Structures are given as C-alpha cells and as structure tokens.
Amino acid sequence: MEPVELVKGLVFRPVLTDEQMVNFIFYDPQTVVPEHAHSEQQIAFVVDGELEFSLAGDVRMLRKGMVAVIPPWVPHAARTYDSTCLQVDVFVPPRAELVKVIDARLATTAQPESSSLPAG
C-alpha cells in the first residue's frame, strides 16, 4: 500500500483485510497526533524509537518493545520529541477512517490517464 500521511510527520502504511487492519506508522521527530477516539479496538506496538502516549489522560513514555491497548471510544493521543518512532497498530475491525482514505486513493489511481491525442 502506498503511504498515507494524515497528520504532518505521520506516515501510515496500512495492510487491510475484511476483518482487521495492521498499520505500520512512521513518526518524524516533533510529530503530534491530536487526541481522538474511534469505535475500533486498537493495539499499538512500539517497534523502534519512542513516543509519549496519552490514554484516557494517563500519559506515559512508550519505548521499543512496549505496547498500548486502546479500547473502543477511549480518548488517546501521541507525540514524538527529538526521535523518530516506528509503531505497528492492529485495528479490529479495520479503522473506518483509514479505509475511506484507502478507498479514495484506490479510486483516484484507478482512473484512466487522459490522453493528449485528439478524439476521433
């Protein structure tokens, strides 16, 4: 899947099935993910680097090998400081907002390229 940048400095590479989504997330330094909540369950694994993670107001620094479990509709946010971070998220069911972005991107790339030749 082509990368998707929803927030400046935050690049998603989602892998999607009918039942779940695995999302590889790359954070640049000084990236802020505003507080949000969604109906999907989420498990976030920090693969490399570190980020500050807020879950229902509980703020912790997550480092390589640490995991956060986010129940549906629980507010959460994240940010990096001076380092990058690689995080892998699992969403069950697939995160609806990302599915819409993927569908829109696929619809755009499926359009035939316009020709510069005159018709007829």
Domain ranges of the chain: 4-108
> How much is the pTM?
0.81
**Separation of alpha carbons 62 and 72, rounded Å:** 20
Res 116: pLDDT: 45
DSSP the chain: ---EEEETTEEEEEEE-SS-EEEEEEEPTT-EEEEE--SSEEEEEEEEEEEEEEETTEEEEEETT-EEEE-TT--EEEE--SS-EEEEEEEES--HHHHHHHHHHHHHHTSPPPPSSPP-
**Main-chain phi, psi angles of 99, to 5 degrees:** -60, -40
Class of domain 4-108: mainly beta
Joined together, the tokens standing for residue 110 give 């499926």
The mean pLDDT values, 10 residues at a time, for the chain of 120 residues are: 84 91 96 96 98 97 98 97 97 90 74 46
State residue 111's pLDDT score.
57
Contact predicate 53/60, CB 8 Å = yes
Name the 3-class secondary structure at 101: helix
* The pLDDT value given to residue 98: 84
Q: What is the C-alpha to C-alpha distance for residues 53 and 3, in angstroms, rounded to an integer?
A: 23
Q: Provide the pLDDT for residue 3.
A: 86
| β pairing state of 58-63 and 41-55 | antiparallel
